[in-house]
Structure 1
């Protein structure tokens, strides 16, 4: 590596070391031309041709990306004796340092996860797979906004693999099941790793602990434990993101939408309500019930009057006023009922007097016309 006193490319004065990887070192630097601080990633190419191709891939990938959730590339020289790339300097700490302080709130995880998922969607749309999403590769700026960094293991989906047969690349604790099995790696691997990162932010601990092999194989035997006290939509999303089947995982774009626009209310059981009947049918039904009740009342009245007893009280159900149109109101026709005349006692029967009935003097009231009998005899009769 060039000493601090030497200007890299006659422009960048190197400073403290910010991070070191397998084939690269990141250092703070001062751009003397533009008078600003930057981060310079210095590569250490070995004799392996794959390393040189991987460095070239990373630089080309970073140069073709532009997103608020990614570190911006200012300058690069992939073909020199000392390949380097000049990046935006993020003043802050890594997500790993933040999780070490304790679990994050659900709102903060939604905000950070939504921004990272949106950045991954941008990466995937350009035919790239990051393959190394983990907390130490996520930088938080002064405002707490995340930036996805370190594209050292980036892969072009339409290009030939640079990984040797039988070699798994990535960090063991965040590998997807298909990476562990040595299968084809797609964008779904980044979604799986992001799911584990968000789960770690919520719980404050890494889901798959242990040695590299143990941590890598553990996900093939059990799914990650998602706390059930989280909001329902977040539990469902994390469960899908960390599914063993890559086909069941949502895309990075779907994850971003779900995290940035969470469901307002938990899902409820939807019960299909019966179709409301038309108002006309309800009114007609009410009228029929009313007429039937009136008819029943009249019949009861007639029966009661014929037997001389009081008619029973009948209460007809009244249809709601709002359901019976005024034009449909029916006024029952009064029915004239002739009351039965009370029985008249017949006149007393007078006893027949076999004698002469009382009557006026000199008259014969027997009714038999007995002219032969009188007080005297008539001459010549």
Structure 2
């Protein structure tokens, strides 16, 4: 039996319960408070010299103190950090658990289980980001699954403190490169956006049974794949696929925040629509973040269509470079676009298999004067003129969302109408309240932000947040 060692004349180290390249985790007894704790013994880099070892130790102490600021039910709490036997020891909450990495040795998880796991992780990581704390090493090995189904994230900042990324570059550490965001793999500083990517890579691994970058015996080869952002598309992620693709976007600015990710996961768990402009159809009815009530929409549709055409004809000669109208004007303009009036799609915008638009949608109105009017006109096409709606998405939007007309039309046919209100504009950025009415009944409302671009005199939706 392992001989009990005493640390700081207070902690009795009972048995090792985990460990890895950075050190050993002990189950220990805090004699002062009479409770079980976890004590992480951090190993300093070998052969780095006394100066480098001191730097790593000081970083570890600093990062542990920063992590101690976070107290959350889904994060392992750091109680303190001590410097003894010429190395740092971190005193943490003890959770009887197995790691997600250990669980995945049994095989991949089901989508619903991964959604529940992701919600718990996101809630802790979003709180950390609000406190200015970046984890930097989200991976299955740092996700603990408690005996009571509680999920907790651990090891905030410790990988950076111990020089994990630098060690990986020399091939001394395996595993971690598989969850690095591309920008971090290229040597940039880790941010909350890179945490989002690493979370996506972790959820991907739980679903697919392998990492987004695949496998490689040589860590340098894996690091190269990470730096280039080469992702193997997921095949088992079902309704999580659209969100997963956004989390794993190679561009940090295009990823959702951790709070947005949590909201979308909760919407999926509740069977509600997520905040995507258009994606693949869910397996069951969803009501949620983006949606709302508009009982008079269909009744006023014909009159609204005539009104918007008149307004657009009147303003056709106005310069598109003028300042946007105030919010009150934009808000009043939005309801006048509730009937499909946008032009039909160009042949290059729709797959060859798409049937041509019906004659009722062949007359193209003048281009919208402002981005806000263009956004309202786009949603007025749903679901009556999906060909024109699909043509209103930019090529960049379709590529980044892996969007096809079939997926687009399957998604939108579950709704009977969508309207736009409370529109505000800042250049080509538009924020609006979206109200969705499901064909099966029920409504939901949400506030969304879009960026539009101009092409051939028309506004196209280029991104959504």
Q: Which digits, 9 at most, give the CA deviation of each residue in 1:141-182, with x for residues without a partner?
A: 1122211112354669xxxx9987995898111111111222
CA contact (8 A) 1:57 1:154 kept: no
Aligned to 1:24: 23
SS at match of 1:215: helix
Gap change, CA 1:82 and 1:206, over 3 Å in 2: closer
Structure 1 match to 2:193: 188
The question of 1:275 aligning with 2:308 is answered no
Structure 1 277/25 Cα, relative in aligned 2: closer, same or farther at 3 Å?
closer
The 5 A counterparts of 1:79-228 are: 81-153=86-158, 171-207=176-212, 208-210=214-216, 211-219=218-226, 220=228, 222-227=230-235
Q: 1:192-239: CA deviations, max 9, x gaps?
A: 1110110111122233211212222224263331227611xx211100
CA change 1:45–1:227 in 2 (3 A) is closer
CA contact (8 A) 1:70 1:147 kept: yes
| Bigger radius of gyration | 1
The answer for unaligned runs of 5 or more in structure 1 is 279-381
Does the CA contact (< 8 Å) of 2:121 and 2:153 recur in 1? yes
**What's the secondary structure of 1:83's corresponding residue?**
strand
Shift of 1:277: 5.9
Q: Quote the Cα distance in structure 2 between the aligned partners of 1:206 and 1:66.
A: 30
In the alignment, which residue of structure 2 is the partner of 1:40? 39
Instruction: Output the CA distance in 1 between the equivalents of 2:151 and 2:99.
Output: 9
Q: Would the alpha carbon gap of residues 163 and 113 (structure 1) be closer, same or farther in structure 2, given more than 3 Å must change?
A: closer
Tell me the equivalent position of 2:250. Answer: 244
Q: Is the 8 A contact 1:15 1:27 kept in 2?
A: yes
Tell me if structure 1 keeps the 8 A contact 2:44–2:56.
yes
Question: Which segment drifts farther, 127-136 or 34-43?
Answer: 34-43
Going from structure 1 to structure 2, the CA distance change for 1:17 and 1:79 (only over 3 Å counts) comes to closer
| Distance in 1 separating the partners of 2:230 and 2:157 | 29
Change (3 A) 1:32 1:258: same
> What is the alpha-carbon distance in structure 2 between the residues aligned to residue 4 and residue 243 of structure 1?
49
SS of 1:129's partner is coil
Higher helix share: 2
Partners of 2:136 and 2:160 within 8 A in 1: yes
SS at match of 2:238: coil
Q: In 2 relative to 1, CA 79–60 (structure 1 residues): closer, same or farther, beyond 3 Å?
A: farther
Distance 1:21 1:35 in 2: 28
Structure 1 pair 164/41, CA: closer, same or farther in 2 (3 Å)? Answer: closer
Deviation at 1:70, TM superposition (A): 0.9
Uncovered stretches (5+) of structure 2, i.e. residues with no partner: 282-290, 292-296, 305-465
Q: Name the CA distance, whole Å, in 2 between partners of 1:37 and 1:52.
A: 25
The Cα shift of 1:56 comes to 1.5
Q: In structure 2, how many angstroms separate the alpha carbons of the residues matched to 1:60 and 1:265?
A: 40
CA distance in 1, matches of 2:203, 2:63: 25
The structure that is strand-richer by fraction is 2
Q: Which residue of 2 aligns with 1:69?
A: 74
Return the offset for 1:50: 2.2
Q: Which residue of 2 aligns with 1:374?
A: none
Q: State TM-score, norm by structure 2.
A: 0.52
- Secondary structure of 1:77's match? strand
Is residue 130–residue 190 contact of structure 1 (8 Å, CA) maintained in 2? yes
Instruction: Report how far residue 101 of structure 1 moved.
Output: 1.2
Deviation at 1:98, TM superposition (A): 1.3
* 2:288 match: none
CA distance in 2, matches of 1:165, 1:12: 31
Q: Which moved more, 1:96-105 or 1:38-47?
A: 38-47
CA distance in 2, matches of 1:75, 1:176: 29
Classify 1:146/1:58 alpha carbon distance in 2 versus 1 (closer, same or farther; 3 Å).
Answer: same
Report the Cα distance in structure 1 between the residues aligned to 2:23 and 2:157, rounded to whole angstroms: 9
Any idea what SS the aligned residue of 2:259 has? helix
The answer to whether the Cα contact below 8 Å between 1:18 and 1:27 also exists between their aligned partners in 2 is yes
Q: How do 1:282-293 residues align onto structure 2 when only pairs under 5 Å count?
A: none
Query: Residue 190 of structure 2 aligns to a residue in which SS?
Result: coil
**2:39–2:92 CA contact under 8 A, matched in 1:** yes
Q: Name the count of aligned residue pairs.
A: 269
